[in-house]
């Protein structure tokens, strides 16, 4: 029922720098410019492929007055993006040209990786892979062949990785794949980029604290509301407190913390970001759920200016 990663949501302290980094440097598309459903005076930006299909999306909530987060036990530490293995030289040159400090290339699970940070300190990786059928977006300076294809994996920092793995395997029915250097890799759906979850035990680290430069929650993908209801029932039966199903217009979702403390959202693949825009207009204007439209003027006045 879990079909890989749906999206990652993190906090940023400077949305202008964030926009430039993810669209101009990494070449992702701004697929939705909306607001935080729970706090409509806050922007919510979604970046991904041309239409923001699940497994390609990273989103950000700007929190200017929020302190910097602390990545530790119970966190999604690293967000990895997939690129073609033949594009490693291109990205090495591009990161240098844009003065992005990086580490690598280094090998992991027979993959070649670069590690670096976004302007807020969020840890990212570019992973060169051979088998990723997805097509990235052509943007100025980046051809389709060199473009980011989508998410590759997330790295979850645990006190005891086997404890989190037990929950993911037995409750969420995610499969155990392989291990390397005390790193456990799981996958859901098919063992392909966008479906990987890497678990690492780091019990000596402090507990994760949410804040700028840290992942707020990990979003998992499930096809529809029927599957979401079944997952919610299983999580509840496992003794985990789980939210009600919430309508976020572009998807429906539930929230809970797995036993190791990592915040997880399970979201439906449908209806998706094309429900209120065509592909050519995605990300160009503020979009609101229908139930917020009557308050559009008030919401627009409360949002921080972008320009």
- Both structure tokens of 57: 């999306």
pLDDT score at 90: 98
In a domain, 293, yes or no: yes
**Structural domain tally of the chain?**
1
CATH code of the domain in which 72 resides: 3.10.180.10
In a domain, 110, yes or no: yes
How sure is the predictor about 46, in pLDDT bands with cuts at 50, 70 and 90? very high
Helical (H) or strand (E) element with 215: strand 215-222
Q: Find the domain containing 224 and state its range.
A: 5-302
Rounded Cα distance between 81 and 288, Å, is 28
pLDDT score at 64: 84
In a domain, 34, yes or no: yes
Rounded Cα distance between 285 and 128, Å, is 33
Q: Which residues contact 218 (CB under 8 A, 6 or more apart)?
A: 5, 8, 76, 154, 156, 262, 263, 264, 265
| 195 and 4 Cβ atoms separated by less than 8 Å | yes
The closest alpha carbon to 279, from 108, 49, 26, 16, belongs to: 49
At 258-292, the pLDDT tens digits run 999 999 999 999 999 999 999 999 999 999 999 99
In a domain, 40, yes or no: yes
Q: What is the DSSP string of 90-122?
A: HHHHHHHHTT--EEEEEEETTEEEEEEE-TT--
The answer to whether residue 16 scores a pLDDT higher than 90 is yes
- Both structure tokens of 25: 């440097």
Q: What is the DSSP string of 42-66?
A: EEEEEEESTT--TTSEEEEEE-TTS
In a domain, 157, yes or no: yes
The closest alpha carbon to 4, from 46, 56, 45, 49, belongs to: 56
The answer to whether residue 54 scores a pLDDT higher than 90 is yes
Q: What is the DSSP string of 129-180?
A: ES--------BTTB-TTTS--EEEEEEEEESSHHHHHHHHHHTS-PEEEEEE
In a domain, 156, yes or no: yes
pLDDT score at 251: 98
pLDDT score at 11: 97
Average pLDDT for residues 131-143, to the nearest whole number? Answer: 93
How sure is the predictor about 306, in pLDDT bands with cuts at 50, 70 and 90? confident
The answer to whether residue 135 scores a pLDDT higher than 80 is yes
Average pLDDT for residues 158-179, to the nearest whole number? Answer: 96
Average pLDDT for residues 15-19, to the nearest whole number? Answer: 94
In a domain, 169, yes or no: yes
**Rg of the chain (C-alpha set):** 18
Q: Which residues contact 157 (CB under 8 A, 6 or more apart)?
A: 71, 72, 73, 74, 75, 76, 77, 200, 202, 205, 208
Q: What share of the chain is helix, strand, coil (3-state, %, to 5)?
A: 20, 40, 40
- Termini Cα distance of the chain: 41
How far is the CA of 19 from the CAs of 36, 43, 97, in angstroms? 17, 12, 18
Helical (H) or strand (E) element with 30: strand 29-36
How sure is the predictor about 76, in pLDDT bands with cuts at 50, 70 and 90? very high
The answer to whether residue 131 scores a pLDDT higher than 90 is no
At 170-220, the pLDDT tens digits run 999 999 999 999 999 999 999 999 999 999 999 999 999 999 999 999 999
pLDDT score at 2: 97
Catalogue the long-range contacts made by 16-20 (C-beta closer than 8 Å, 24 or more residues apart).
Answer: 16/306, 17/119, 17/120, 18/45, 18/60, 18/62, 18/118, 18/119, 18/120, 19/45, 19/306
pLDDT score at 108: 94
In a domain, 307, yes or no: no
């Amino acid at each position: 029922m879990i079909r890989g990663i749906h999206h990652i949501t993190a906090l940023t302290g400077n949305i202008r720098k964030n926009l430039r980094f993810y669209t101009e440097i990494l070449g992702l598309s701004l697929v939705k410019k909306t607001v935080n459903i729970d706090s409509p005076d806050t922007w919510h930006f979604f970046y991904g492929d041309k239409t923001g299909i699940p497994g390609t999306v990273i989103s950000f909530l700007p929190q200017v007055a929020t302190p910097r987060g602390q990545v530790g036990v119970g966190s999604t530490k690293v967000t990895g993006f997939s690129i073609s293995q033949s594009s490693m030289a291109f990205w090495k040159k591009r990161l240098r040209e844009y003065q992005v400090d990086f580490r690598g290339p280094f090998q992991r699970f027979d993959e070649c990786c670069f590690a670096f940070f976004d302007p807020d300190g969020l840890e990212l990786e570019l992973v060169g892979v051979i088998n990723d059928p997805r097509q990235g977006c052509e943007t100025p300076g980046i051809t389709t062949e060199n473009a980011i294809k989508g998410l590759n994996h997330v790295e979850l920092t645990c006190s005891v990785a086997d404890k989190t793995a037990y929950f993911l395997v037995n409750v969420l029915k995610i499969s155990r794949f392989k291990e390397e250097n005390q790193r456990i890799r799981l996958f859901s759906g098919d063992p392909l980029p966008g479906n990987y979850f890497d678990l690492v035990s780091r019990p000596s680290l402090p507990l994760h604290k949410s804040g700028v430069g840290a992942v707020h929650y990990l979003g998992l993908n499930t096809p529809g509301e029927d599957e979401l209801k079944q997952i919610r029932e299983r999580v509840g039966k496992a003794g985990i407190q789980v939210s009600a199903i919430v309508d976020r217009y572009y998807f429906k979702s539930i929230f809970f913390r797995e036993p190791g403390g990592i915040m997880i959202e399970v979201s439906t693949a449908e209806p998706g970001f094309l429900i209120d825009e065509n592909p050519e207009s995605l990300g160009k204007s503020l979009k609101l759920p229908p139930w917020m439209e009557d308050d559009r003027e008030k919401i627009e006045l409360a949002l921080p200016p972008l320009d």
